[in-house]
Amino acid sequence: MGIFKLEPAFKDYIWGGTRLRDEYGKNCDYDKVAESWELSCHKDGASVISGGEFDGLTLQEYIDKVGRQVLGTNCGKFENFPILIKLIDAKDNLSVQVHPDNDYAQRVEGEYGKTEMWYVVDCDEGAELLYGFKHEISKEEFAQRIADNTLLEVTSNVPVNKGDVFFIKSGTLHAIGKGILIAEIQQNSNTTYRIYDYGRVGKDGKPRELHIEKAMDVTKLAPAESYPDTPAVRENGAEIKLLSKCEYFTTYKVDIEERAEFCADDSSFVSLLVLEGEPFVTDGEPEPTADEAVAAKKGDSLFISAGTGKFYVEGRCSLILTRIDR
Looking at the annotation, which residues are catalytic? 194
Beta strands 128-133 and 155-159: pairing type? antiparallel
